[in-house]
Amino acid sequence: MTTRAQAVRRPTLAALPRFTKQINRVAQWVIVGLFVVWVVGNFLHSPAQFVSVLLLGITLGAIYALVALGYTLVYGIIELINFANGDVFMLGTMVTITVANGWLGLDGSQAWYVTVPFVLLALLAAMALCGALNVAIERIAYRPLRNAPKLAPLITAIGMSFLLQNIGAAIWGFNERPLTNTGNSIFPANTLFKIGGVPYQAKSLIVVVTTIPVLLILRYLVQSTKSGKAMRAVAQDMDASRMMGINVDRTIAYTFALGGALAGAAGTLFVMFQTSTRFDLGFQLGLFAFTAAVLGGIGNLTGAALGALLIGLIQAFNEGLSWHTPGSDWTESITFAILILVLVFRPQGLLGEATADRA
């Protein structure tokens, strides 16, 4: 009796996925539509405020993009959410302070021909150290688990993240860490122009202008070099690429090095822009960046940059605009709500292709 009852009920259950697909599509359009209405409404409400917040959002998005690329590179190759990436970024901010302020003695009072090479030096130091650190993390914590159950490296990554936070705190302290003892900015903080009374500072421009070549270099490395080709091959099929003579371990290490270096560069730019850092800001910023990577389509480089820009804009809009905005108390919730909505309704992200594996 029971088997017959089940047999009768089965067709209705089988029809459900088709409905959910339609609901999905409608929900996606509704969400995008509401977002567009909200943005346009805010623009009409106060255009000057809108443009100044937009510029701030682009700066924020540039920093997120660098961290998000670290997530998306690693996820693309071994399908691991490397929670530790955000904390590597945090260590990048700390290293930048030590090198730029502690060792090189930059405090914003030097002439530009001293500041520029020294800041570049600090940037390179942060990139090198974070890249090396990321490779070490992969070697110690993830490589032994490559054939383990899939959630094992994920859990390890969370543990690693907490460990790195505390290492950062042990070295640089639990308190807020200012960039310079005087509280000065190293990047020039002078106003370039004003929109509706809100100044646009030179350091915002520097962040954006520095990010773009880094993104282009990364694109070149992944698309046009031999090791980039190896990365894409390993991402597609690890076993097949091993048979083709690709050194899989080295390729994965190279990917982690790239991701770490990007996080280090983001760390330098972030601390130069914000002029202070803390041992625990990496985890949350990392989650924001991961949201950006998911929004753009995880594993997709252009997607990560686009998603980061969008997340940066949404956060800046939420905190800076005034027409129907929840305000800064809700920034985190909004970002994570976006993450959840994207994963539920469009797991492949904005630019990712819909494959069974990614969904």
Partner 1 sequence: MMERLGLGDAWSKLPRSVRHAALPMLVLVLLAFYPSYYSDLTSLIGTNSTAAQLVPTVPTMVIMTVYVIMALGLNVVVGYAGLLDLGYVAFYAVGAYIAGWFATQQFSPHNVHVVSVGVPHTVQGIHVNVWSLLLVGAVFAAVFGIVIGLPTLRLRGDYLAIVTLGFGEIVPQAVNNGDNWFGHNITNGPNGLTPIDALGFGSLHNHWSFLPTVYYSVTNAVSYYYWTGLALVVFTLFCCIRIRDSRLGRAWVAIREDEIAAAAMGVPLMRTKTLAYAIGAFFGGMAGCFYAIYKSSTFPGDFSLNISITVLCMVILGGMGNVWGVCLGGAVLSYLNYQGLEAVGNNFNNIAGTSFNVPQYTYGIFGLIIVVMMLLRPQGLIPGQRRKVELELGVEGGSLYEASSQ
Q: Could you tell me the smallest distance in angstroms from the CB atom of residue 24 to partner 1?
A: 11
d(CA 320, CA 284): 20
Q: Which of residues 340-359 bind partner 1 (CB under 8 A)?
A: 340, 343-344, 347, 356-357, 359
Nearer to partner 1, 151 or 243 (CB): 151
Contact call for residue 41 and partner 1 (CB under 8 A): no
Q: Where do the H-state alpha helices sit in 46-111?
A: 47-78, 84-96
Report the chain's C-alpha Rg in angstroms: 22
Contact call for residue 11 and partner 1 (CB under 8 A): no
Q: Which of 222, 339, 349, 352 binds partner 1 (CB under 8 A)?
A: 339
Contact call for residue 249 and partner 1 (CB under 8 A): no
Closest CA to 283 of 91, 98, 80: 91
Nearer to partner 1, 36 or 170 (CB): 170
Contact call for residue 24 and partner 1 (CB under 8 A): no
d(CA 343, CA 340): 5
d(CA 7, CA 345): 30
Stretch near partner 1 under the rule CB under 8 A, chosen from 168-176, 182-190, 230-238, 268-276: 168-176
Interface pattern 63-92 for partner 1 (x via CB under 8 A): ----------------xxx-----------
* The token pair that represents 216 in the structure block: 């282009």
Nearer to partner 1, 231 or 293 (CB): 293
Q: Which of 42, 59, 96, 165 binds partner 1 (CB under 8 A)?
A: 165
Which position has the token pair 């996606």?
A: 28
Q: Could you tell me the smallest distance in angstroms from the CB atom of residue 172 to partner 1?
A: 13
Nearer to partner 1, 220 or 336 (CB): 336
How many residues make up the chain in this entry? Answer: 359
Per the CB < 8 A criterion, the answer to whether 275 and 178 are in contact is yes
Nearer to partner 1, 76 or 228 (CB): 76
Contact call for residue 237 and partner 1 (CB under 8 A): no
Q: Could you tell me the smallest distance in angstroms from the CB atom of residue 75 to partner 1?
A: 9
Interface pattern 124-153 for partner 1 (x via CB under 8 A): -----------------x--xx-xxxxxxx
Q: Could you tell me the smallest distance in angstroms from the CB atom of residue 61 to partner 1?
A: 20
What is the distance, to the nearest Å, from the Cα of residue 321 to the centroid of all Cα atoms in its chain? 23
Largest CA distance in the chain: 88
Per the CB < 8 A criterion, the answer to whether 297 and 352 are in contact is yes
Q: Which of residues 283-322 bind partner 1 (CB under 8 A)?
A: 283, 287, 290, 294
* The token pair that represents 355 in the structure block: 């494959």
Nearer to partner 1, 263 or 342 (CB): 342
**Phi, psi dihedrals of residue 296, rounded to the nearest 5°:** -75, -20
Q: Which long-range contacts (CB under 8 A, 24 or more apart) does 333-338 make?
A: 335/287, 335/288, 335/291, 335/311, 336/287, 336/291, 338/291, 338/295, 338/311, 338/314
Binders of partner 1: how many residues, by CB under 8 A?
A: 47
Q: Could you tell me the smallest distance in angstroms from the CB atom of residue 128 to partner 1?
A: 24
Q: What is the DSSP letter of 279?
A: T
Q: Which of residues 261-290 bind partner 1 (CB under 8 A)?
A: 283, 287, 290
Q: Where are the beta strands (DSSP E) in the chain?
A: 177-178, 191-195, 198-201, 276-277
| Site for partner 1, rule CB under 8 A | 79-81, 141, 144-145, 147-156, 158-167, 169-170, 174, 283, 287, 290, 294, 329-330, 332-333, 336-337, 339-340, 343-344, 347, 356-357, 359
